[in-house]
């Protein structure tokens, strides 16, 4: 099968024009099919404040009321997405900016109200991603750039976690391509000591993962990332890599990059 990279970038890239420039240059240099996924929560919060709309967060998760949905639609699908697409065109990548509603590529279900009403937030399931349509787009020569928005199929846009979108895309497309899922963030990868960039853990298998959790070396925000990573591998993704955005070029040069989880690690 042909290689495919599904790469998710966070605020440390999006919020810094110099970081974004270098990342997109390295992204363009990668051989094979590529999909880029981005959020943009910090910029959305800044613009919300400028418009007098209070950003509501519960345990770090955004409550998306109708006013907030309007803002994130403008910011994610407009300001950030089109800036990324324009920069990629500059480097020779024929990118096309998308929400999940475009081409009916990603359909979500509005999160049910339990103890907290998250508002217009979308959750994904096994049938959310239209892999055939996305494959057709890539085979036609386009590089999809997805923002963190989906739809419910009934005319409603939904705010959806970008990490979750990246994982769902990778799993769905693993049936068509030799797929690697990459989460780019501000650290070199999973670290034994969060304050020591040289304490990088190169590979983690499920047994080692359980040990690292017991030792509290891996905790907090890294837990859902790794849980999603092992789930993606179990569902057919070739490998998941967690690494620093400004080191993506190492991947193109076949150098060690970030923390790698792959099928060979799964017992």
pLDDT tens by residue, 204-222: 888 888 888 898 888 777 7
Record: fold of 3-265: Carbamate kinase (3.40.1160)
**Phi-psi region for residue 40, left (φ > 0), alpha (ψ -120 to 50) or beta?**
left
Q: What pLDDT was estimated at residue 69?
A: 96
pLDDT tens by residue, 23-51: 999 999 999 999 999 999 889 989 999 99
pLDDT tens by residue, 67-77: 999 999 999 99
Question: Does the annotation list 159 as a binding residue?
Answer: yes
| Average pLDDT for the chain | 92
Query: Domain map of the chain by residue range?
Result: 3-265
Whole-structure pTM value: 0.93
SS (H, E, C) the chain: CCEEEEEEECHHHHCCHHHHHHHHHHHHHCCCEEEEEECCHHHHHHHHHHCCCCCCEECCEECECHHHHHHHHHHHHHHHHHHHHHHHHHHCCCEEEECCCHHHCEECEECCCCCCCCECEEECCCCCECHHHHHHHHHCCCEEEEECEEECCCCCEEECCHHHHHHHHHHHHCCCCEEEEEEEECCCCCECCCCCCCCECCECCHHHHHHHHHCCCCCCCHHHHHHHHHHHHHCCCCEEEEEEHHHHHHHHCCCCCCEEEEHHHCC
Question: Does the annotation list 40 as a binding residue?
Answer: yes
Question: Does the annotation list 62 as a binding residue?
Answer: yes
């Amino acid at each position: 099968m042909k290689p495919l990279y599904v790469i998710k970038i966070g605020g440390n890239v999006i919020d810094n024009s110099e970081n974004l420039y270098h990342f997109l240059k390295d992204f363009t240099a990668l051989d094979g099919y590529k999909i880029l996924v981005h959020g943009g929560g910090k910029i959305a919060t800044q613009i919300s404040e400028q418009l007098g709309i209070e950003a509501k967060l519960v345990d770090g998760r955004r409550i998306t009321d109708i006013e907030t949905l309007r803002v994130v639609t403008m910011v994610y699908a407009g300001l950030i997405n089109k800036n990324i697409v324009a920069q990629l065109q500059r480097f020779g990548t024929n990118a096309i900016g998308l929400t999940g509603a475009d081409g009916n590529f990603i359909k979500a279900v509005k999160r049910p109200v339990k103890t907290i009403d998250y508002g217009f937030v979308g959750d994904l399931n096994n049938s959310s991603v239209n892999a055939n349509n996305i494959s057709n787009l890539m085979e036609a020569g386009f590089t999809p750039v997805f923002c963190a928005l989906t739809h419910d199929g009934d005319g409603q846009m939904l705010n959806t976690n970008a990490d979750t979108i990246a994982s769902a895309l990778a799993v769905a497309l693993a049936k068509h391509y030799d797929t690697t899922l990459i989460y780019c963030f501000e650290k070199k990868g999973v670290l034994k000591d969060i304050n020591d960039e040289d304490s990088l853990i190169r590979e983690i298998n499920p047994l080692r993962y359980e040990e690292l959790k017991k030792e509290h070396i891996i905790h907090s925000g890294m837990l859902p990332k790794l849980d999603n990573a092992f789930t993606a591998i179990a569902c057919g993704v070739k490998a998941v890599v967690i690494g620093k955005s400004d080191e993506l070029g190492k991947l193109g040069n076949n150098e060690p990059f970030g923390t790698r989880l792959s099928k060979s690690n799964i017992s």
